[in-house]
Structure 1
Amino acid sequence: MRSIKSWLHDHPYSYALFYFIPYLIIFELLETFVVPKYYIHCFIDDMIPFHESFVIPYFTWFPLLAISLGYFLFHSRKEFLELCFMMFTGMSICLFIYMILPNGLDLRVNITHTNWLADIARLLQQIDTPTNVCPSIHVASTIAICFVVCRSHLFQHPFLVKSACLIISVFICISTMVLKQHSFIDVILGFALSSLLYYVTYHTNWQKYFMKTPLRILFS
């Protein structure tokens, strides 16, 4: 315990991970109490077939999130903070949109197959309500990770790492539509959001605004 405290003291930028505490609280409150007023749908959604096998890339999002944050946390303060800024800002914007424009989906299908992947897909539908979907946090955060990984010069085998990250990211984004967790519109807007934040991250001096707040500890 003492060694953990010592490490945190020597690496104050790691405190950025505490963002997940208010994020998860607000997200769960929105999931519980917000009733959608706007339902997202376009003709492309009707052309995309459901298939339960896409639960595999869909849940790959969780280890991708943990591994990318963990890797940059221990290997590059600069890239860790860039990833946190791009991803956490995107998440915050999405939550704000969900508050002022409560939205949802009416795309889900009745899963009739009887196999372990179908069981997981049914469980996913039970625990993840079709609300708070546009823009897609799943997609926006995936794209943010992909951007930072593809810019990084840290990897011993950069072609393999970046190609794998790109392929995984594409399948994660596709899986959100195939599983009817998101509309094509959610995916496009999630991509657009992270693309905008990419520009802000790498072409503006965003750090100076944090230096005027208590969050300046992250840059010390």
Structure 2
Amino acid sequence: MKQLFSWVKEHPYSLWLLYYIPYLICFVLLEHFAVPVFIIHTPIDDQIPFNEYFILPYLLWFPFMFGSLLYFLIKDKRSFQDLCFFMFSGMTVSLLTYLVLPNGLDLRVDFSVNNIFAWMVSLIQNVDDSANVCPSIHVASTFSIMLVILRYSKFRHPSWTKLGTSLIAISIILSTMFLKQHSIIDVIAGLALSGILYFVTYRLNWRRLFYSTKLHFLAD
């Protein structure tokens, strides 16, 4: 623990990761108390078949997200900061949207498939209900990670890394629809949100906001 605290003291920008504490608290509270007022549904959603095998890329989101944060935390401070600002801003905007415009889905279907993949889908559905879906945090964060990685040029095999990342990201985004976890509207909203935040992250000087506050050490 002493070595860990010493490392954090030498790398104060690693404190960005503490964002997950208030994020998870707010997410859980919204899951329990926010009652959907707006139901997201389009005819296109009805044309997308349920496929339990997409649970694999859907669950891949977790190592994809934390693995990317850990990689840039160790390898490249500036990219780590950009990714944190990019992704955490999207999560924050999404939570605020859920608070102001409570929304949900009615897309889930009864499936009679009996295999390990269907069991995992049932487990996810029991833990994560159909509320707070638009914009999709799953999609927005995945797209932001992909865009940050595509900008990074110091990989040992950049072409293969970026191709693999793109395929993983696309499969994760598609999985949200094929598992009936999200509507295509949620996906489009998540992609649009990330597009806007990409501009804010890389075209505007977001660090200026931190330099003008006591949080300037997070942007140094």
Amino acid in structure 2 at the alignment position of 1:217:
F
TM-score, structure 1 as length reference: 0.99
Aligned to 2:93: 93
Q: Counterpart of 1:214 in 2: which secondary structure?
A: coil
Where do residues 62-211 of structure 1 align in structure 2 (5 Å cutoff)?
A: 62-211=62-211
Amino acid in structure 2 at the alignment position of 1:163:
L
1:105-125 CA distance string (max 9 Å, x none): 000001211100010011111
1:80-119 CA distance string (max 9 Å, x none): 0000000000000000000000000000001211100010
Rounded to whole Å, the distance in 2 between the matches of 1:36 and 1:116 is 31
Q: Flag structure 2 segments of 5+ consecutive residues without an equivalent.
A: none
Shift of 1:46: 0.6
Rounded to whole Å, the distance in 2 between the matches of 1:134 and 1:213 is 31
Q: Flag structure 1 segments of 5+ consecutive residues without an equivalent.
A: none
CA contact (8 A) 1:134 1:190 kept: yes
Shift of 1:154: 1.7
CA contact (8 A) 1:57 1:175 kept: yes
Shift of 1:206: 1.0
Extract structure 1 runs of 4+ deviating beyond 3 A: none
Rounded to whole Å, the distance in 2 between the matches of 1:55 and 1:77 is 32
Rounded to whole Å, the distance in 2 between the matches of 1:219 and 1:197 is 17
Rounded to whole Å, the distance in 1 between the matches of 2:188 and 2:84 is 21
TM-score, structure 2 as length reference: 0.99
Q: Counterpart of 2:15 in 1: which secondary structure?
A: helix
Where do residues 5-16 of structure 1 align in structure 2 (5 Å cutoff)?
A: 5-16=5-16
**RMSD of Structure 2 on Structure 1 (CA):** 0.7
CA contact (8 A) 1:142 1:169 kept: yes
1:133-189 CA distance string (max 9 Å, x none): 000000000000000000001200001110011000000000000000000000001
